[in-house]
Structure 1
């Protein structure tokens, strides 16, 4: 089975997935470092610090780059696990990237969505619902431009909260698989992991 855990930046996805991974669940993510390290021909890009040049890419180039990251994660991690009959949980898959691009670059987002929606759908999707103000605190009072939407760099907190509210609303609006279920992140990672395991295997 193919599962996805998603939510806004600072929702606690990484912490929960770390707990589930330690419990034996196969997991993956779609970060530049994880995805690009999956194939020999893309590993050299890691040394170029993709998180730095990524935020300065024009919209169509960024959409293409995001498509590559998702494709690498699917082909090199998700697909092999499913072929082996192994359950796998992916951090966000394409959903969060698509939600952000729909907010930042609505003009190019249709290209991205048309590609992403052609990919195999997960069996279950869980959205971690978190208030952006809480997420900001979890981020330690700092955020990258891709986390605050490139808004006012002199008031990153306000830009982050505004952007993440829009991203969260977009995540909950994706039809139909993204609306599978959602849970509030008003508990610690261990308890959330317990809850998520129950939801996945109920």
Structure 2
């Protein structure tokens, strides 16, 4: 990495990372923020959000019938490689904050039943961050932020129904797998904040320390 400094913002579904990243864009002008969210993807990388939309609109509804979990992992890998490329590119003197990096996608692939250890080994060989800021959230708050289940997708809950118990069980497992992936890194755990503004300020304080 030639001394490049980067951190990762991590957390379960419903932790509010996207909202926090948008607020941090105005609070950390000296940092470069990297995400697959539309707001942070340059026009020349328009394929990335397009694939993300197609994944939700077409792949997930057909998962297990039209598409295998291995195909799902192949599509998700495009996001993983894009994030790595963004971390490795640009001015090495500018610090970078990455939304989830490969950790959350790897945890979701494991939860979905993807067993490709060679793919995981490759992802784990990517440059590692200086630190991880883990934005925690209670299951109840996360459930409410997902419209009490109305805005869930198949990569956010166990089972077919997507009820609250399925969601909470999945999120508990996802959280454990993500923390397992970063167990050898400096991790700052941030307890649930009352709103996105305060969460963004808490993240800013960690990154500015």
For 1:96, which of 82, 99, 104 is the aligned residue? 104
**Which residue number corresponds to residue 207 of structure 2?**
200
The yes-or-no answer on 1:183 pairing with 2:190 is yes
Give me the TM-score of the superposition, normalised by structure 2: 0.80
Q: How many residues align?
A: 196
Q: Which protein has the bigger helix share? A: 1
Once residues 34 and 197 of structure 1 are traced to their aligned partners in structure 2, the CA distance between those partners, rounded to angstroms, is 18
Residue correspondence of structure 1 range 44-193 to structure 2 within 5 A: 46=51, 49-55=54-60, 56=63, 57-75=67-85, 77-81=86-90, 83-105=91-113, 107-108=115-116, 110-141=117-148, 142=150, 143-149=152-158, 151-153=159-161, 155-177=162-184, 180-193=187-200
**Which residue number corresponds to residue 29 of structure 1?**
35
Q: Structure 1 runs of 4+ off > 3 angstroms?
A: 30-40, 42-48, 175-179
Shift of 1:99: 1.2
Residues 154-177 of structure 1: CA distance to partner in whole angstroms, max 9, x if unpaired?
x43221111011101111222445
Once residues 15 and 49 of structure 2 are traced to their aligned partners in structure 1, the CA distance between those partners, rounded to angstroms, is 31
For 1:18, which of 10, 22, 26 is the aligned residue? 22
Q: What is the root-mean-square deviation of aligned Cα atoms in Å? A: 2.7
Give me the TM-score of the superposition, normalised by structure 1: 0.83
Gaps of 5+ in 1: none
Gaps of 5+ in 2: none
